[in-house]
Each structure stands twice: as structure tokens, then as C-alpha cells.
Amino acid sequence: MFNQDTDRFRTFGRAKGKPLSPAQAGLMRDVFPKFDIGPIIEKGENPFQNINGPLWLEIGFGGAEHLLWQAEQNPDVTLLGVEPFLNGVAKAVRGISDKGLKNLRLHRGDARDVLAVLPDACLEKVFVLFPDPWPKARHHKRRIINEQFIQDLHRVIRPGGHFRFGSDIIHYVDWSLTRIKAHGGFGWYPQRQSDWRARPDDWPSTRYLEKALREGRHGHFFEFIRK
């Protein structure tokens, strides 16, 4: 894998869950290769070099509910979804097939490999929604929101572009806000508490968020502007 640093910490957990159904396996064999930018990333090339129009990136799309909704609602935007978990990628491919979407690209792997090949200021929006919080103190080094990651996002998002971050773990919220503020390259302009406690209309719910709410955890929704 391009830019794979064997010494860097892994930021995600398992890469596979239960075995794929025959239908899912068939979609991964026949449909996924049409949207897979993995071979381009492995060559160290920009996967968007032949694409015109706005470019958005979702890092860690989980069950793909948000990714598919955004692609369906924004047909003039090209979205790249990055997810290491095979079963999540299979759900995205199922959605692409069922909805007939043409404006999605997928990468099953580490988002840092994607960021490494993107040119400066190429993205209008980046979504990092409810990433693994790695709650144990000894695992905090694995959190995807860190100083280098924020620097990488700042490089690839155009001035005036948006970085959306969400979490239901307040300690991770504090962790992330501290590091984003310290970087200084993103503005955040809340006017009231509901600006980060209420989910925006163009931020669809997901099964993960609904589970968090059932378990008594509140979602926190942040939109940062790249200076």
C-alpha cells in the first residue's frame, strides 16, 4: 500500500466481521471494482485527477448510511468513501447497486494513504463522523484525530471548505476540539449550544447514532471552516 508506514499506529479495529452473504460476495466481485480507487492509491496517484466538479471525502463511513444519502442528495458532487471494514464496504456497494449511484468512489483501507496522494486544496468537504474513540488511555495514540491528521486535512481542504466531525463520546470531543483549536487552521463559529447539540438537516442519522441515543449518549455535531 502506498505510503504505508509499518511503524504508525492503526486507527481502526477489526477489518472483517461475519462472512458476506453470497449476494454481497457477488456484488464485491462484480460491482466493487468499478468504484474501487485502491489500485490508483497503490500507484501513488491522485484518484480525482480526471473528475470535474466538487469533491467530498468521508473517512470511516461505517454502514454507509450517511455516505449513500449524501451521494443521492448531491448528484453533482463526487464522493469518496474510505472504510477498512469489509462488511461496511459491502453495504456501500449494495447501496450503489440498489440506487444506481454513479458519483461514488470507494477505498477499502487506511484513509491516511488516500490523504497522502491528494493534491493541495482539492476537497470542498470532509466528513469524520463518530470515529472509533479508543477509550482506554493506552490506546489514545490510535485516535484518528491527532496533530498530523489535522495538518493533512488542512492541506487537502480548500480555503473556505468544510470539515465535519461528530462524536457521542464527550472525552473524544474535548480531545478533538483541543487539537483542532491548537492547529489554528480551522474556524468554528457557534452561536448557541444547539449549533453542536442538534443534528443539522443535511446530516442524516445512522444506526450507530440511534444506538448511542438509546444508550443515553448525546451526539455532538461540529462544522469547521478551513481558513
Q: Is the pLDDT of residue 60 over 80?
A: yes
Q: Quick one: CA dihedral 35, 39, 122, 178, positive or negative?
A: positive
Query: What pLDDT is attached to residue 137?
Result: 83
Query: What pLDDT is attached to residue 5?
Result: 46
Residue 7: pLDDT band with limits 50, 70, 90: very low
Q: Which of 148, 82, 145, 156 lies closest to 115 in space, CA to CA?
A: 156
Catalytic residue IDs = 132
Q: Is the pLDDT of residue 13 over 70?
A: no
CA-only gyration radius of the chain, Å? 17
Enter the C-alpha cell of residue 62.
461505517
Residue 2: pLDDT band with limits 50, 70, 90: very low
Quote the Cα angle for 90-150-132, to 5°. Answer: 40
Average pLDDT of the chain is: 92
Query: What pLDDT is attached to residue 8?
Result: 52
> What pLDDT digit, counting tens, does each position of 91-107 carry?
999 999 999 999 999 99
User: Is residue 161 a contact partner of residue 215, using CB atoms and an 8 Å limit?
Assistant: no
Query: What pLDDT is attached to residue 9?
Result: 52
Q: Is the pLDDT of residue 64 over 90?
A: yes
Class for the domain spanning 22-226 = alpha beta
pTM, two decimal places: 0.92
> What pLDDT digit, counting tens, does each position of 16-50 carry?
668 899 999 999 999 999 999 999 999 999 999 98
> What pLDDT digit, counting tens, does each position of 142-189 carry?
899 999 999 999 999 999 999 999 999 999 999 999 999 999 999 999
Query: What pLDDT is attached to residue 71?
Result: 98
| % of the chain beyond a pLDDT of 90 | 86
Q: Is the pLDDT of residue 6 over 80?
A: no
